[in-house]
Structure 1
Amino acid sequence: MQPETILTLLIWLPLLAGLAMLFWPATNNGHRTAGLIVSALVLLLSIVAWQRLGTDVWAFSRPWVPSAGIRYALMLDGVNIILVLLLGITGWLGLAAANLDPRLASPRVTAGMLLAQAGMMGAALAQDAFLFYVFFELMLLPVFLMIGIWGGEQRIKATLKFAVFTIAGSLLMFTALLYVVWRHHTAAGIWSFALSDLIGMHWGQAEGLWLLSAFIVAFGIKAPIFPLHGWLPDTYVEAPFPVTFILAAAMSKLGIYGLLRFALPLFPEAAHTALPVLMCLSALGIVYGGLLALVQTDAKRLVAYASFSHLGLIAFGLFSLEYQGIHGSLVHMLNHGLTTGGLFLVLGCVGLRLGSTEISRMGGIAKGMPLLAATFLVITFGSIGLPGLNGFVGEFLLLLGGFMAHNGLGLLAVTGVIISAAYMLWFVQRAWFGPENPALGKLPDMKGAEAAVLLPIVALVIVLGLYPKPLLDASAPGVKWVMQYTTVSTKAAHRTGVDAAHSTAANTGPDTAGAIKPLPGGNL
């Protein structure tokens, strides 16, 4: 199988299957099996891509709207391979988790999960900024609908808040993007949304800072990072737990990826100017999220703030613009997705038994559910970065990068990490091993279908902790790419607008329009 085919199937397989599920008869339960088969194929393709990519770059480009310089351009490299692998894993796990809740036994839920995965895959692979924006918005629509239809009592309020935040950020980014494209056209005489053409343009200091801010706000809302997290707690709590899993484990990483692929490389000089402020906000977010988690009375809300705190740590390392920090952000995207997503899945299983995730209703539940308790404990240890589990390597690199950039803020970030361990262990002790709640009665332990969802996460938490080398090797070329375009000292070596015009003309000229760029790798 050619690389071009793999990249295409990663997007279009779940997209077409999701559209088909919209017309699937509601009385036919075969949609569950069909959805799992499709998501398993996407997972298999993502694993094949990860194994074959190595240090190569897979890319191809075809005209889409030639008059506007918009192309259907996809690329897989070290920057997004970890994200693509994460999306493959979480796509299957999310659908399998949806099958655990009888309320979600609808082909429309299967459709929503597949369409969300297709949108996220498209955003992860797109190298045309307009195409990226299309997929970046497409992934949100099914999530809005699933929360609004199948969410909790306050689902409408949560959906509206989520929509207002994300749409406002997206419109701000799109406005900034149009300005960047117009500036490129002014300098080069050719319209282009290609990232390779837009990178390397010269910006005035104030101009660059405003444009960078627009992109950071949009991606910071999606992640979310401090102080753009206002939508997060209500949305995570009110969403059905498989949707919360997708939001926390996968969709939040598109915000981090957007910073890595678009915001920082497009405006490197502005990024270096704003570095102290960005790192300070991220470090404050780590501590602030941890302090908020300490006072929560609902377990889902507690883990939501824990996720927010850890995303602040990823942003902290990323904004350091140090090699170690950027490497840590790429690796920890997958590790955070597994641990935070796993915590939400276990809480979803508990919520189905108790009818609530209020901490006051729990207490000593490990006695009746020892397997679920052990699963939650392992994932928790991975989340807080216990050596030997998956979270350790990423957190170490993130903190190392932060200390290399700013010692004082590094100490603040470490304080947040310590708080993180404190509130998670406090929750485990109180909810799982504290005094029993006699009103709960006998609770069933982990079922076979739940084990099929949770045990792969436990296995990955352990394996990636003991042997992180595959993730480090796969993401290393991506770190070099990000460093190449965010190191100000090399900015002079970047292409000017006129150089970009020659590149665009070469890509869109009559002899090469629609041609496939050379792709390393042979047949599968």
Structure 2
Amino acid sequence: MKDFPWLSVLIALPLVGAVLVSALPRARETLVKQAALAVSVVVAIATLVMASQFDPDGARFQYDEKYWWIKQFGVHWALGVDGVALVLIVLSVILVPLVMLASWSEDDRSGGVDVPAKRSVKTYFALLLTLEAAMIGVFAATDVFLFYVFFEAMLIPVYFIIGYFGGPQRSYAAVKFLLYSLLGGMIMLVAVIWLYPLSNKAVSDGGVGHGTFLFSELTKMDVDPTTAKWLFLGFFVAFAIKAPMVPVHTWLPDAAQQSPPGALVLIVGVLDKVGTYGMLRFCLELFPGASKWATPVVLGFAVLSIIYGAVLAIGQVDLKRLIAYTSVSHFGFIVLGIFAMTSQGQSGAALYMVNHGFSTGALFLVVGFMIVRRRSARIGDYGGVQKAAPVLAGTFLVAGLSGLSLPGLAPFASEFLVLTGTFTRYRVPAVIATAGVVLAAIYILWMYQRTMGGPKAEAVEGMRDLSAREKWAVAPILAIIVALGFFPQPVLNVINPSVKQTLVRVDERDPAPKITGNVAENGARP
């Protein structure tokens, strides 16, 4: 079955589903929802079947497909996944049907606040399926030009989801998102084009006589240090905007505030991971020397993102903006782990991408349920919700505790690995970054106390608890968060071989324990 074109099929299925959904009568809203959900479930099942055949001890990139696309320019339709790409694709396909289930009612798809116009159901669900195809493609692409195509293609459905289905200031948020993303994409495009003559020379020296954008071939290039630094910056800036990192993060809070809560799960839970995935895959492996050169500065910005995002989260009065700023802080941890250049740090960063997707996804889904009931995202409009809707409050608590990396919940293991892996090589950034853990406890617990605790506010009188549909939408995510909190090893077993390959490419090894006298620093006897 490994010869089956799994990845092409997984990209094609949601695209075909989007076309079919678009062709259904607009008045048949229930049929539209059922068809879109059915397609997303089929994609999820097919992905899990494919993932079950992945061999962590086998070839690095599996389910390879390679066909000429634009032969004159050396562009291939080339797909394949390693462990990191695989777990991110699995994350994507699990979240999409749950988002659709959570967004079943019209109110869930609105911006949630003062949006009177009724939106097109089939347009919304067709855009979600289109976005799913782009997400799978961007993680599966092993041709850099094809990666860029999917990288930019994701902007289209997201722009229309924010701009058409968002809140009162949706146009401003959508345009800001688009401009930031296009700026990063244009910078990266220059770097991608620059790769072609360099690869042409490298491949010609090998006797083939034409350039290429294949990742496997580009890693063999011998680029002079100055050129490599410029190329690294071209890719890194685009990925830093997508991630998002301070100071190019400002599009995210606005997009989060105006986006429909369901779609926001995919924007923050999956799309932003393209930035950190790109750093790990392309920045480090295509330009290893330049990555080492930039590491001190990148670590500084990562720590700044951790602290700055957490501090601003504490002061927010809007639930969606607060969670968006927590994500800025969490992405700082992910970047910190990537550029720590240790196996623990990078494994933790890759695991953090998955765990953050589920943790933030749960938070945004529950916040979306609250907004539907109260018609407001302002923290001050809530209070005492746990008395009116205890199941909703309990779900919010578990999701929030995962956001502060409570031991026993999924993000704890990844955050611990990141800090441990960073500390072995860069102690000062690791120590400063631990302040983010303390600040996370402040903004999560304070948010919970202000919304769920205290006396019952008059506005939440009669607030209904979670429906069966809403429980089905959020329960699988909470189950995964708990399962990965107690037993993350299966995911790490898939991730670790790819991380080792990355470290080999950048010529880095884990620091050996320092020995003082007869006792090692870590407490073990030599």
* TM-score normalised per structure 1: 0.91
Write out per-residue CA displacement over residues 427-484 of structure 1, whole angstroms, 9 at most, x where no aligned residue.
1111111232123321000001100101111111111111111111111121122212
Residue matched to 1:86: 91
Residue matched to 2:39: 38
Write out per-residue CA displacement over residues 385-437 of structure 1, whole angstroms, 9 at most, x where no aligned residue.
11111111101111112112210110111011211121111111111112321
| Matched residue type, 1:18 | A
Q: Is the 8 A contact 2:11 2:137 kept in 1?
A: yes
Asked whether 1:210 is paired with 2:215, we answer no
In 2 relative to 1, CA 160–152 (structure 1 residues): closer, same or farther, beyond 3 Å?
A: same
Structure 1 residue 24: deviation in Å? Answer: 2.3
Structure 1 residue 103: deviation in Å? Answer: 6.4
Moved more, 146-155 or 38-47: 38-47
How does 1:84-163 map onto structure 2 within 5 Å? 84-102=89-107, 104=109, 106-163=121-178
Residue matched to 1:274: 294
Structure 1 residue 54: deviation in Å? Answer: 2.2
Moved more, 99-108 or 161-170: 99-108
Q: Is the 8 A contact 2:76 2:213 kept in 1?
A: yes
Q: Is the 8 A contact 1:13 1:38 kept in 2?
A: yes
In 1, the alpha carbon distance for the partners of 2:132 and 2:336 equals: 27
How does 1:420-431 map onto structure 2 within 5 Å? 420-431=440-451
Asked whether 1:359 is paired with 2:374, we answer no
Write out per-residue CA displacement over residues 291-319 of structure 1, whole angstroms, 9 at most, x where no aligned residue.
00011011111111011110111111111
In 2, the alpha carbon distance for the partners of 1:488 and 1:454 equals: 40
Q: Is the 8 A contact 1:101 1:352 kept in 2?
A: no
In 2, the alpha carbon distance for the partners of 1:232 and 1:205 equals: 34
In 1, the alpha carbon distance for the partners of 2:201 and 2:448 equals: 58
Count of matched residue positions in the alignment of Structure 1 and Structure 2: 489
| Matched residue type, 1:279 | L
Structure 1 residue 22: deviation in Å? Answer: 2.5
Asked whether 1:414 is paired with 2:438, we answer no
Residue 321 of structure 1 aligns to a residue whose secondary structure is: coil
Q: Can you give the 5+ residue segments of structure 1 that lack an aligned partner in the other structure?
A: 490-524
In 2, the alpha carbon distance for the partners of 1:479 and 1:488 equals: 11
In 2, the alpha carbon distance for the partners of 1:230 and 1:52 equals: 41
Residue matched to 2:10: 10
Give the structure, 1 or 2, with the largest relative contact order (CA under 8 Å, sep 6 or more): 1
Q: Is the 8 A contact 2:202 2:221 kept in 1?
A: no
Structure 1 residue 240: deviation in Å? Answer: 0.8
Q: Can you give the 5+ residue segments of structure 2 that lack an aligned partner in the other structure?
A: 110-119, 205-209, 510-526
Structure 1 residue 488: deviation in Å? Answer: 6.0
How does 1:298-447 map onto structure 2 within 5 Å? 298-447=318-467
| Matched residue type, 2:180 | F
Residue 357 of structure 1 aligns to a residue whose secondary structure is: coil
Residue 27 of structure 1 aligns to a residue whose secondary structure is: coil
Structure 1 residue 224: deviation in Å? Answer: 0.9
In 2, the alpha carbon distance for the partners of 1:488 and 1:363 equals: 51
In 2, the alpha carbon distance for the partners of 1:79 and 1:443 equals: 41
Structure 1 residue 4: deviation in Å? Answer: 3.1
Moved more, 452-461 or 13-22: 13-22
| Matched residue type, 1:83 | L
Residue 23 of structure 2 aligns to a residue whose secondary structure is: coil
Asked whether 1:287 is paired with 2:330, we answer no
In 2, the alpha carbon distance for the partners of 1:75 and 1:369 equals: 45
CA RMSD of aligned residues (A): 1.4
Residue matched to 1:24: 24
Structure 1 residue 3: deviation in Å? Answer: 4.7
Write out per-residue CA displacement over residues 91-137 of structure 1, whole angstroms, 9 at most, x where no aligned residue.
21222222144464611111000000100100110101111111111
In 2, the alpha carbon distance for the partners of 1:100 and 1:399 equals: 41
Structure 1 residue 203: deviation in Å? Answer: 2.8
Residue matched to 1:181: 196
In 1, the alpha carbon distance for the partners of 2:107 and 2:459 equals: 24
Q: Is the 8 A contact 2:338 2:346 kept in 1?
A: yes
Residue matched to 1:256: 276
Residue 240 of structure 2 aligns to a residue whose secondary structure is: helix
The runs of 4+ residues in structure 1 deviating greater than 4 Å are none
Q: Is the 8 A contact 1:79 1:477 kept in 2?
A: no
In 2 relative to 1, CA 67–111 (structure 1 residues): closer, same or farther, beyond 3 Å?
A: same
Residue 80 of structure 1 aligns to a residue whose secondary structure is: helix
Q: Is the 8 A contact 2:305 2:332 kept in 1?
A: yes
* TM-score normalised per structure 2: 0.91
In 2, the alpha carbon distance for the partners of 1:400 and 1:205 equals: 31
Identical counterparts, % of pairs? 36
